[in-house]
Amino acid sequence: MATKIFVNLPVKDLNKSVEFFTSLGYNFNPQFTDENATCMIISEDIYVMLLVEEYFKSFTKKEIADTKISAESIICLSAESREGVDEWVSKAVSAGATTPNEPQDQGLMYGHGFQDLDGHLWEIMYMDPSAINQEQPASEISAQ
């Protein structure tokens, strides 16, 4: 079954968010871009819809999470190397992001993250493919 993922995130200033994510190397689909929203392309199957807060509210009756005091999710993306994790986070910080945590080195997994301009949490991780036993349960992998 083919699946595409669309993550919807509220943003305060669409232009600043586009500028921030452009500096990280992302592109946007102009067919799904106007003054209320844009479609950021993560991969051919993963997209992030950045929606101006008022427009985002038209999709839900719930309040938008205050990212200064709570987390609504952590979006995790993979890097191709440990160095790639550090480079990605460094680029984000240079563009205005903050790092709420220190890097986490768990041997076969290495990760670090950042908060974007709107406080959304992004985790960047690398997992050494040669260290993964396909038959080993995930709980045992994380305990190593």
Q: Which residue has 């396909």 as its token pair?
A: 134
Q: Which residues contact 129 (CB under 8 A, 6 or more apart)?
A: none
Question: What topology does CATH give the domain 68-144?
Answer: 2,3-Dihydroxybiphenyl 1,2-Dioxygenase; domain 1 (3.10.180)
Residues forming beta bridges with residue 113, ordered by sequence position: 123
Rounded-to-integer distance, Cα 112 and Cα 105, Å: 9
Which 3 state secondary structure label does DSSP give 124?
strand
Rounded-to-integer distance, Cα 124 and Cα 122, Å: 7
Q: Of 66, 28, 35, which is closest to residue 49 (Cα–Cα)? A: 28
Q: Could you state, in order of their start, the residue ranges of all structural domains in the chain? A: 1-64, 68-144
Domains 1-64 and 68-144 share a fold: yes
From residue 15, alpha-carbon distances to 12, 29, 62, 74 in Å are: 9, 14, 25, 22
Rounded to two decimals, the pTM is 0.86
The per-residue pLDDT string of the chain (144 residues; one tens digit each, 9 = 90 and over) reads 779 999 999 999 999 999 999 999 999 999 999 999 999 999 999 999 999 999 999 999 999 999 989 998 999 999 999 999 999 999 999 999 999 899 999 989 999 999 999 999 999 999 988 876 655 555 554 444
From residue 36, alpha-carbon distances to 50, 57, 123, 141 in Å are: 8, 11, 26, 42
Rounded-to-integer distance, Cα 3 and Cα 22, Å: 25
What's residue 107's pLDDT?
87
What's residue 138's pLDDT?
54
CATH superfamily of the domain spanning 1-64: 2,3-Dihydroxybiphenyl 1,2-Dioxygenase, domain 1 (3.10.180.10)
